[in-house]
Amino acid sequence: MRSQATLTTALALVSTVSAFWRMPCRSQTGVGRLDPIMDAGEVSDHVHTIHGGGGFGFDADYATLNARGSCTSCEVTQDHSAYWTPTLHFLYPNGTSVMVQQVGGMLAYYLYYLDDVKAFPAGFQMVAGNKNTRNFTGPFPDTDLSSWPTDPSDQFFLEQRALGFNCLNYAKDPEPSLYRHQFPTKDYMDANCADGLRLELAFPSCGNGSNDSLDHKSHMKYPSLVKEGNCPEGYDVNHPFLFFETIWATNTFAGEDGQFVLSMGDPTGTGYHGDFIMGWESTQFLQDALDTCQNPSGDIQDCPMFNIQSDAIGANCTFPMPDALLNDDVKGPRDGLAVDIPLQNGPQPATQYPVAGRSSVPTSSIPSTTASASFSLPTLSYTAANPSITSTAMGGIVVNKVSIASTSSATPSETDSAASSPTAWSAPSASESAPASSSITEAPSATSGPAPDIIATSYLTSSNQVVELVIEEVDVTVTATPSAAAVAAAKHKRHMHKHLHHAGRR
């Protein structure tokens, strides 16, 4: 008799960088048309996925995020910073759209690439990327860093290369970070990105000492190699290199006709962007953390200053959704993009469009969305991280070596180490632990539609190296009597479903 069991696969990515830490923010504080930097005090013109401080809203700033009693969805309670990026949607040819499921919240890396990094000052905020950009002026892949201009005056060149669209396939060698700077084609994703797409965003780290500027960008510049190199003249305050990662379950649309579109109507990816409001409890605290937390593990657990909360507590941190947004249908399925935003294919820059709920624009005046494929994207075969490219490649995390830590065979120690890792998810409580089952007959539960395969990512330290464990759920048909390993794996699966449940209550 054939029966089904679910096993876990752990993939270890071994990386080395200078000192850094990695802030996991496993839950959203909300999803909606808010952008207190670019659209302060009003409805934003597109939807964001928002993480971090619960004091978020149309008018969020350093003070509101740090208001007494406010919470954070990140793991370090002293960090009430707000982190946000556009959402990803799938647009069918008939004009129906649905939001793509985000997997595992977000990671915000604080990397020390420049010398003598200085904490963000009080009131600091910044934007990376440009929502209106619709072209990448290539080549692809990037030429070797040694051929890049040493003078960082072409900030558009650097801004384009600060975006990454990482095709996830945990069965293959991973792509480096910031390798591809626009969406792969749908066909390419169907064929290669079995585990979804990771959106990456690097922020500029050369500051001029101001906490903001009129356009919220020009007080910050990229150094000549995006993450390191020379800072432009007058930008001699070295801040940490902030790097956001979010994972989207694009694989759940494999084989479906249609296209992926960022919430501002961008089917190219080149308009990807993100925002940051400094919400650390004080600049001095952040400075002390930067000075003290130099463990190359990047693990926040290794920084004694940090007060760490469980992801379950973080998941309870949400901001009150403003009344003006309560009727927004962001997730769909719905007619047209959320919320009635027009598709703009480029390559010319996108133009402003009327926004429902803002400046009394009637919804009826908003152009309807139609799917189209009139833009061109690179067609390539899957290219994994090539060690010779990777050694000079860009990226927050440069992947040096890959090893498959475990597959479906009897490797309970691997799955145990993943499951017991404190950063993966909180250890299952007694009530969550399922009793060991003697027969593996449980089918993978298809709760609501196709579930993403990626369960979580986790990080372990082993002798000066960071090991990223990507935990994937795999459906396996077993024909034999259940082994101890399979029983153990089935137990893990229940824990993971529990975890997904937490994540799903955003």
Ligand X SMILES: *[C@@H]1O[C@H](CO)[C@@H](O)[C@H](O)[C@H]1NC(C)=O
Stretch that binds ligand X, among 45-53, 71-79, 127-135, 246-254 (CB under 6 A): 127-135
Choice between 109 and 222, CB closer to ligand X: 222
Stretch that binds ligand X, among 9-17, 91-99, 289-297, 360-368 (CB under 6 A): 91-99
370 is a site residue for ligand X (CB under 6 A): no
Angle at 59 between CA 56 and CA 61, to 5 degrees: 70
Q: How far is the CB of 198 from ligand X (least distance, A)?
A: 24
Q: How far is the CB of 422 from ligand X (least distance, A)?
A: 16
Q: What are phi and psi of 61, to 5 degrees?
A: -150, -175
| Helix, strand, or coil (residue 126) | strand
Q: Quick one: which of 38, 123, 185, 465 contacts ligand X (CB under 6 A)?
A: 123
Stretch that binds ligand X, among 65-73, 343-351, 392-400, 409-417 (CB under 6 A): 343-351
Q: Quick one: which of 15, 66, 97, 133 contacts ligand X (CB under 6 A)?
A: 133
Strand bridging mode 88-91 / 259-262: antiparallel
316 is a site residue for ligand X (CB under 6 A): yes
Report the distance separating Cα 219 and Cα 205, nearest Å: 10
CA-CA-CA-CA dihedral for 356, 359, 360, 361, to nearest 10: -50
Q: What are phi and psi of 109, to 5 degrees?
A: -90, 140
Stretch that binds ligand X, among 6-14, 27-35, 203-211, 463-471 (CB under 6 A): 203-211
208 is a site residue for ligand X (CB under 6 A): yes
Choice between 211 and 294, CB closer to ligand X: 211
40 is a site residue for ligand X (CB under 6 A): no
Choice between 96 and 407, CB closer to ligand X: 96
295 is a site residue for ligand X (CB under 6 A): no
Q: How far is the CB of 494 from ligand X (least distance, A)?
A: 19
Q: How far is the CB of 136 from ligand X (least distance, A)?
A: 8
Q: Quick one: which of 3, 77, 135, 407 contacts ligand X (CB under 6 A)?
A: 135
Other residues' Cβ atoms within 10 Å of the Cβ of residue 62 = 24
Choice between 96 and 185, CB closer to ligand X: 96
Q: What are phi and psi of 500, to 5 degrees?
A: -60, -35
Report the distance separating Cα 157 and Cα 342, nearest Å: 27
Q: How would you class 150 by CB atoms within 10 Å of its CB: exposed for 0-12, middle for 13-18, buried for 19 or more?
A: exposed
Q: Quick one: which of 284, 307, 348, 376 contacts ligand X (CB under 6 A)?
A: 348
287 is a site residue for ligand X (CB under 6 A): no
User: Hey, which residues between 51 and 70 contact ligand X (CB under 6 A)?
Assistant: 62
Report the distance separating Cα 203 and Cα 276, nearest Å: 9
Report the distance separating Cα 444 and Cα 432, nearest Å: 18
Q: Quick one: which of 313, 361, 380, 389 contacts ligand X (CB under 6 A)?
A: 313
Report the distance separating Cα 204 and Cα 396, nearest Å: 12
Binding mask 416-435 for ligand X (x = CB under 6 A): --------------------
Choice between 232 and 357, CB closer to ligand X: 232
Q: How far is the CB of 212 from ligand X (least distance, A)?
A: 6
Report the distance separating Cα 161 and Cα 262, nearest Å: 18
Q: How far is the CB of 168 from ligand X (least distance, A)?
A: 24
94 is a site residue for ligand X (CB under 6 A): yes
DSSP state of 304: T
Stretch that binds ligand X, among 77-85, 341-349, 362-370, 463-471 (CB under 6 A): 341-349
Where b means 16+ CB within 10 Å and e means fewer, 257-290 reads ebbbbbbbbbbbbbbbbbbbbbbbeebeebeebb
Stretch that binds ligand X, among 10-18, 142-150, 205-213, 285-293 (CB under 6 A): 205-213
Residue nearest to ligand X (CB): 123
Contact 257, 92 (CB under 8 A): yes
Contact 54, 72 (CB under 8 A): yes
Q: Quick one: which of 18, 138, 153, 347 contacts ligand X (CB under 6 A)?
A: 347
**Residue 312 to residues 23, 68, 247, 421, Cα–Cα distance (Å):** 16, 21, 20, 15
308 is a site residue for ligand X (CB under 6 A): no
Q: How far is the CB of 313 from ligand X (least distance, A)?
A: 5
Q: How far is the CB of 377 from ligand X (least distance, A)?
A: 15
Quick one: which of 232, 236, 241, 271 has its CA closest to 85? Answer: 271
Report the distance separating Cα 16 and Cα 227, nearest Å: 15
Report the distance separating Cα 250 and Cα 198, nearest Å: 9
List residues binding ligand X (CB under 6 A): 62, 92, 94, 96, 122-123, 132-133, 135, 208-211, 213, 218-219, 312-313, 316, 347-349
